[in-house]
Structure 1
Amino acid sequence: MKKLSEQLNQPIVVENKPGAGAVLAYNELLRSKPDGYTLTTGSNITSLLNLLNSKLPFDAATDLVPVAPLASVPIVLIAGSKVPARNVAELISYVKENPGVNYGTPGPATPHHLAGVLLASMAGMQLTHVGYRGTAPAVQDVIGGHLPLAIVGLSTAIQFTRSGQLKVLGVGSAKRSELAPEIPTLAEGGVNGYDASYWYDVCVAKDVPKTVVGRLHGEVTKALQDIQVRTSLTAAGLEPMAVTQEQYQRMLQLERAKWEPIIRAHHIEMGS
């Protein structure tokens, strides 16, 4: 934010609006004047929020306009010491012999939950989802042997992996993470074509002029090229992203085409 503030020659004030699955933050954005001076962070599944939460007071697909991606959040499949699998192929065999194996995530309708549903479907496994309130308790239950598997953020899991307290069977993105290139992707492990990438972006309200959206996209993308910004993001377990507006629109179209049928088919909803 500091770099972006310098480029725009404008102070940036961060207001945290947690709760209700970011609904409070989005409501604040939509109540603001649509001049581009109020922004919020979203993600690649923001446009799907109405499918995940039928009680939303707005239409996320049309009322929120994505400006630019910020950084990807690598997610990984982890296993406890009691799970005999050392890799994805062995895990698939294990689950097929023991259908219904539990896997934890930071909560229902999170990108991690969607990633688990996609994995089970593509690998032909029967997995049972257990939604936690956050990443830490899920990881601790895997380490303690109370939970066989979990899908969580790489930045949280990696410290326990390197200490030998749990196993990382694969990273969920299409390519290996720059943060831990030694970890193979789930696709490399045998789930061909698997990609459950997750990233943060910046959003504005729908009536913000396109010229302003274009200016903001350019400034955000420029800020992400700064070495100090990139270093700060990678230290936090995030991988900086920078693409053109056209590329980003296409990426979001592909994301919606992939996740919408999965959400509908499995009746995934916040709080479920």
Structure 2
Amino acid sequence: MIHRRLLIAGAVAASLAAPLTGWAQAPYPSQPIRLIVPFAPGGAVDQTARTISNALGERLGQAIVVENKPGASGTLGAGELYRAKPDGYTLMLALDSQAVNHHIVKNLSFDTFKDFDYLSLLVTTPQILVTRNDLPPKTIEEFVSYVKAHPGTAYGSAGTASAGHVNSAQLSIIKQLQTTHVPYKGAAPLLTDLLGGHIDFAFAGLSVMLPHVKAGKVKAIAVSSPGRSKQLPEVPAMNESIPGFEFPTWIGLVGPKGLPAPVREKILKAVHDVMHDPQVERRFADNAFDIVNSSPEVFATRVRKDSDIMADLVKRKIVLAD
């Protein structure tokens, strides 16, 4: 009798555990995926998220929920990712500032290199030097002369240590300009203040500034790409006046460290398919993005490289002295 009761109890326990076991082993993904955008809506990172989210969700079979978490040059969003479980249900789109924030943002809760999985550098977009419309300069030479005659000319960036900050700071040091840096929580609020006349100029992603340049709302001076942009062929490249001047905006997909191998591979496969989807390719091209879709190894190397560039700028007090 005792033996029979034990058998029955075991069978009941097994039947109760079966649904739980099945739930724990549900194939990834079995619920919506959170995609952190660590900047305000409207900027290049947000544009990228909106471009890929639906297509990525279709390939993974779950909704991609875009969540803007602006602040501290992207470190607030990166902190959210660091605290997330490495289960594939929380990912982030990182801006170039992700590679360099550790040099200038104090008391970070995470290690930039050890605590994240750099999955793929997705896209780049040239930086473009723009001024508010009522500023007289039309060329880079005229711009330099104007700023020298007006010390303290204010420029905005999408955040401290962003590509826009680095480009503006480097231009200031190369041409010995006295400028004032105004950091924002992304390119969209920067653009609002530029249009409102509260700042004088900015380096920002061409993807964000292109429609406003074409509409005549801001004045384009030069682009930071190796050559002229197909979208704005009449606008010169910076390196036509300053050889080697190039530091584009990049955006990549990042996960928390420790993603299970099958989950990681599924994400990478889905991302590759999305970035080679003709409709997605066309949308990126129309908005002045260049698709990269690098391997994790290439992305991690780029992060290290940009970190080294910023380390040199900090050492020489180029960024912090402006």
Counterpart residue type for residue 76 of structure 1: I
- Choose 1 or 2 for highest CA Rg: 2
Aligned partner of residue 203 in structure 2, secondary structure: strand
One of 165, 170, 176 as aligned partner of 2:222: 170
Instruction: Provide the C-alpha distance between the structure 2 equivalents of 1:104 and 1:17, rounded to a whole number of angstroms.
Output: 20
Q: How does 1:170-209 map to 2 (within 5 A)?
A: 170-188=222-240, 190-209=241-260
Partner of 1:71: 123
Instruction: Report how far residue 2 of structure 1 moved.
Output: 3.1
Aligned residues: 268
Instruction: Provide the C-alpha distance between the structure 1 equivalents of 2:177 and 2:272, rounded to a whole number of angstroms.
Output: 40
One of 31, 41, 57 as aligned partner of 1:5: 57
Deviates more, 1:46-55 or 1:153-162: 153-162
Distance 1:29 1:159, change over 3 A: closer
Partner of 1:124: 176
One of 46, 52, 58 as aligned partner of 2:104: 52
Instruction: Provide the C-alpha distance between the structure 2 equivalents of 1:4 and 1:247, rounded to a whole number of angstroms.
Output: 21
Counterpart residue type for residue 56 of structure 1: L
Q: Does 1:217 align with 2:268?
A: yes
Aligned partner of residue 243 in structure 1, secondary structure: coil
Distance 1:56 1:268, change over 3 A: farther
Structure 1: stretches of 5+ with no match in the other structure: none
One of 74, 89, 104 as aligned partner of 2:141: 89
Q: What's the Cα RMSD here? A: 3.2
The 8 Å contact of residues 36 and 204 in structure 1, kept in 2 or not, is answered as: yes
Between the aligned residues of both structures, percent identity stands at 27
**TM-score (structure 2 length as normaliser):** 0.69
Instruction: Provide the C-alpha distance between the structure 2 equivalents of 1:26 and 1:144, rounded to a whole number of angstroms.
Output: 30
Structure 2: stretches of 5+ with no match in the other structure: 1-52
**TM-score (structure 1 length as normaliser):** 0.80
Q: Does 1:113 align with 2:146?
A: no
Instruction: Report how far residue 176 of structure 1 moved.
Output: 3.4
Of structures 1 and 2, the one with the larger relative CO (CA 8 A, separation 6+) is 1
Partner of 1:154: 206
Aligned partner of residue 30 in structure 1, secondary structure: helix
Aligned partner of residue 125 in structure 1, secondary structure: coil
Q: String of CA shifts for 1:116-141, please: whole Å, max 9, x gaps.
A: 11222233333222335654564455
Distance 1:211 1:48, change over 3 A: farther
The 8 Å contact of residues 82 and 148 in structure 1, kept in 2 or not, is answered as: no
Instruction: Provide the C-alpha distance between the structure 1 equivalents of 2:215 and 2:58, rounded to a whole number of angstroms.
Output: 40
Aligned partner of residue 27 in structure 1, secondary structure: helix
Instruction: Report how far residue 196 of structure 1 moved.
Output: 1.8
Instruction: Provide the C-alpha distance between the structure 1 equivalents of 2:233 and 2:260, rounded to a whole number of angstroms.
Output: 41
